[in-house]
Chains A and B, each alone.
Chain A
Amino acid sequence: MSETLPKKVENSKIAVHCEGVSKTFGAGNAAVHALRGVDLDVRTGELLMLVGPSGCGKTTLISVIAGVLRRDGGDCTIFGQDYKLMTEDGITSFRGLNIGFVFQAFNLIPSLTTAENVATPLIINGMKPKPAVSKARDMLIQVGFDERMMRSFPSDLSGGQQQRVAIARALVHGPRFIVCDEPTSALDGETGLKVMELLRRLGCVEDRALVVVTHDSRIYKFADRIAAMEDGRITEVVDSASQLKVLSEQTI
């Protein structure tokens, strides 16, 4: 597997380093080898897209990287920290401070207002609700929300608006690493592009890395690099701008 680094990030620090990462679900004949020795580096300041067919291990890999799933073998560090050396509480706390999540189904809590949903990571990290909501409002302004929308509930919002809220929630506490699982798959094409523009604009900063799992070839142009996965392995890591067409035809 060859790896080319875009100029933008060739001097950046390594945010995530995976080497020979493996993960198996079940045992015996029913065992499913979801990851079979994954090698991958993600650098700060870059947006890496993880693509591949269903069941190839993309979601398992981001789960391992994000610390929501324990790996079975190999090495994996995130900003130099190895989950294997941390306690369960340590991992939880690390996630709370350093990782932002954007989910395919948004996962906004229906009984919280938009602003309260965005404030959730801050509250989890110990901030009082009032200042947390106030900070969340500032973040929501950046994703284009007005006062009325901040007071509305997720059920009052369109899919695109909900994903903008989810992006604001992923960014509000200033995490160093953001994982996005199929962020545009529940949205129409135009809305998906707008959401990715927003994610790219607000999320891609110097000290932060983004990994986006996607099937949506229309958003490849937002990636700095694309890692293709197949059968639990990274098969190719390409520069998005130069090899996007080949990848979309062969892998997806």
Chain B
Amino acid sequence: MNFIALKMLFGDRAKFIGIVVGLTFASLLITQQSAIFAGIMTRTFSFLLDVGLPDIWVVDPRVKYIDDIKPLDDDAYLQVRGVEGVQWAVPLYKGSLAVRTKDGTYQSCTVVGLDDETLMGGPAMMVSGDLSYLRRSGAVIVDQTGAEGKLAHLLPGGKSIPLKVGAEIEINENEAVVVGICKVSQTFQNVPVIYMTYSAATLFSPGQRLLLSFVCVKAKPGQDLHSLCQRIERATGLRAYTRNEFKVLTFLYYLEYTGMPINFLTAVALGFLVGIAISGQTFYNFTLDNLRYFGTLKAMGASNRMLLRMILLQAMVVGGIGYGLGVGAATVWGMYMGAHTQLAFRLPWHLLVVSAVAVLVICLSSAALSIRKVMKLEPAVVFRS
């Protein structure tokens, strides 16, 4: 019967295309919007991913997410070092400073101040220069996207010259020299990232009394991270998060306090509803058009089970094709836009499953109406002209 089911499906080309287009559009919209949402949400904690070594992040108890900087006492990291189970603890500065480019424009940048001794928290991938050059006076490392984009020297004709090693920039009216270009993950704010030593950061920063943003902690081997967090909190009165906890905290903050989830969920729901509306309606019409033939098959001895399998097969085939085309189109679009723009697009396998389940639900809902109609069909209908 699969043979007949598929022939019937492909035979009605207009409806087949209509159903597939509806499902493709639904799949495309669901996958694309989910992937953009995932991309943006990943950017909210991308700094945590880039600074991979610490097991624990110690912050002010009022901090709600990673960019919610509430400076700590300058000696807080010394207190943390004294806690049992801590292998090392280093200070880390994260803030926002204005950078004046060669053409005179000001650009807000994220500045990361690394522990002078260890340079812990520095970029994992250098494009040019070396991390150790940061120890030179007034040295900074700039991220590649920023160097080629917002910090590039804009010429009158519209062309721009990327910032290179050896270039001079002005940070808070202090001269700095670019000693390296690095690669970092895109951040939520999408501003250039500049690395320098912690002591340089204190020089470049405006007259703030407290500068320490985080204490990054590495636990001794075999330590239970949650117990260590509790010990740090007891000893310092600060809040200690494992990396994953801090990631989740940041993720949940953006989820709760921004309109992003609603916006993206609306788009995803729209895709789902469009899928149901277009494909469901067309599939149902396809079944109605073929009701006479389903009745004929029933009269000729096809059981309800056979007809059920036929309709499910038809629904699964259009679902599979629509899903494949939709996900494929979303992936190609995401790859293209990701390569040519700053678009946040992340498509982990979980999203492919979510999209597949959504398309499956659309197909089954569409098929359910048709199945109901065919199951209730009296074979005697075939004698009505």
Residues of A at under 8 Å CB distance from B? 59, 62-63, 66, 68-69, 88-89, 92-97, 99, 101, 103-105, 107, 109-112, 116, 120-121, 123-125, 129, 181-182
Asked whether, in the complex, the Cβ of A109 is within 8 Å of the Cβ of B301, the reply is: no
Contact across chains for A110 and B11 when beta carbons are under 8 A apart: yes
List, sorted by A's number, 7 A–B pairs whose CB atoms are closer than 8 Å.
Answer: A66-B299, A95-B299, A101-B299, A107-B292, A109-B296, A112-B11, A123-B4
A181 pairs with B10, CB closer than 8 A: no
B8 touches A124 (CB 8 A): no
Residue of B nearest to A100 (CB): B300
CB-contact partner of A95 in B1, B3, B12, B301, under 8 A: B301
Asked if A120 contacts B4 (CB within 8 A), the reply is yes
Q: B230: CB under 8 A from chain A?
A: no
Interface status of B152 (Cβ within 8 A of chain A)? no
The reply to whether B296 and A92 form a contact with Cβ atoms under 8 Å apart is no
A170 to B115, CA, bound (A): 88
A68 partner residues in chain B, CB cutoff 8 A: 298-299, 378-380, 382-383
Query: Within 8 Å of chain A (Cβ to Cβ): is B258?
Result: no
Chain A CB within 10 A, most for which of B12, B292, B297, B304: B297
Q: Find out whether the CB atom of B11 lies under 8 angstroms from the CB atom of A62.
A: no
The distance in angstroms between the C-alpha atoms of A89 and B290, with both chains bound, is 22
B293 in contact (CB, < 8 A): yes
Known: A111-B10, A182-B385. A97 touches B301 (CB 8 A): yes
- Binary flags per residue of B298-312, CB closer than 8 Å to A gives 1, else 0: 111111101000000
* B1, B290, B299 — most chain A CB neighbours (10 Å): B299
Question: Are B11 and A124 neighbours in the complex by a CB distance under 8 Å?
Answer: no
Is B136 located at the chain interface by the 8 A CB criterion? no
Complex contact A92–B7 (CB within 8 A): no
User: With a CB–CB cut-off of 8 A, which chain A residues contact B293?
Assistant: 107, 109
Please determine whether A69 and B382 come into contact, CB atoms closer than 8 angstroms: no
Q: Contacting A107 at CB < 8 Å: which of B7, B8, B12, B382?
A: B382
**In the complex, are the beta carbons of A59 and B383 less than 8 A apart?**
yes
> Which one of B7, B306, B382, B383 contacts A124 once the chains associate, using CB atoms below 8 Å?
B306
Asked if B299 and A69 sit within 8 Å, CB to CB, the answer is no
CB of A89 within 8 A of CB of B303, answer yes
Contact, CB under 8 Å: B296 / A93:
no
Taking A89-B303, A129-B3 as known contacts, 8 extra A-B pairs with beta carbons closer than 8 A to each other, sorted by chain A number, are A68-B380, A92-B303, A96-B302, A107-B296, A111-B7, A112-B4, A123-B4, A124-B306
Q: Among residues 299 to 347 in chain B, which have CB atoms less than 8 Å away from a CB atom of chain A?
A: 299-304, 306
Q: In the complex the two chains form, is B8's CB within 8 Å of A103's CB?
A: no
- Per the bound structure, the CA–CA distance linking A121 and B298 in Å amounts to 10
Which residues of B have CB within 8 Å of A101?
A: 296, 299-300, 382
The smallest beta-carbon distance between B8 and chain A, in angstroms, is: 5
**A interface: dominant SS:** helix
Task: Out of B301, B306, B378, B382, name the residue touching A103 (CB < 8 Å).
Answer: B382
Chain B residue with Cβ nearest A93:
B301
CB distance from B82 to the nearest CB of A (A): 79
Contact (Cβ within 8 A) A111 B301: no
B7 cross-chain contacts in A, Cβ below 8 A: 109, 111-112, 116
A129 vs chain B, min Cβ distance (A): 4
Known: A95-B301, A96-B300, A124-B306. A109 touches B382 (CB 8 A): no
- Complex: how many Å from CA A116 to CA B304? 21
Interchain CA distance A109-B299 in the complex, whole Å: 14
Distance in angstroms between the alpha carbons of A95 and B301 in the assembled complex: 5
Which A residues are in CB contact (< 8 Å) with B380? 63, 68-69
**How far is B384's CA from A121's CA once the two chains are assembled, in angstroms?**
20
| A88, A94, A101: residue with the most chain B Cβ atoms closer than 10 Å | A101
From residue B152, how far is it (CB to closest CB) to chain A in Å? Answer: 60
B300 contacts which of A63, A110, A120 (Cβ < 8 Å)?
Answer: A120
Considering the complex, give the chain B residue whose CB is closest to the CB of A182.
B385
How far apart sit A96 and B385, CA to CA, in the bound complex (Å)? 22
Task: Give Cα A105–Cα B299 distance, bound, in whole angstroms.
Answer: 15
CB nearest to B10 among chain A residues: A111
Chain B nearest CB from A68 CB (Å) reads 4
Of chain B, the residue at the smallest CB distance from A129 is: B3
Shortest distance from the beta carbon of B281 to any chain A beta carbon, whole Å:
20
Interface 0/1 of B345-385, CB less than 8 Å to A: 00000000000000000000000000000000011101111
Contact for B297 among A88, A97, A105, A120, CB less than 8 A: A120
Distance in Å: Cβ of A46 to nearest Cβ of chain B: 21
Chain A residues within an 8 Å CB radius of B10? 111
Assess the B12–A69 pair: CB atoms within 8 A.
no
A103 to B297, CA, bound (A): 12
Which residues of A lie under 8 Å from residue B301 when comparing CB positions?
A: 92-97, 99, 121, 124-125
Expressed in whole angstroms, the minimum distance between the Cβ of A64 and any Cβ of chain B is 9
Q: Are B3 and A103 in contact (CB under 8 A)?
A: no
B292, A124: Cβ atoms closer than 8 Å: no
Residue numbers in A under 8 Å from B292 (CB-CB):
105, 107
Residues of A within 8 A of B3 (CB): 116, 123, 129
Q: Are B8 and A121 in contact (CB under 8 A)?
A: no
Q: Smallest distance from the beta carbon of B311 to chain A beta carbons, Å?
A: 15
A245 to chain B, nearest CB (A): 28
Contacts of A116 in B (CB 8 A): 3-4, 7
Per the bound structure, the CA–CA distance linking A125 and B293 in Å amounts to: 17
Query: Cβ of A111 and Cβ of B12 under 8 Å apart?
Result: yes
Q: Which 10 A-B pairs have the closest CB atoms?
A: A96-B301, A111-B11, A68-B379, A129-B3, A69-B380, A107-B296, A68-B380, A63-B380, A95-B301, A59-B383
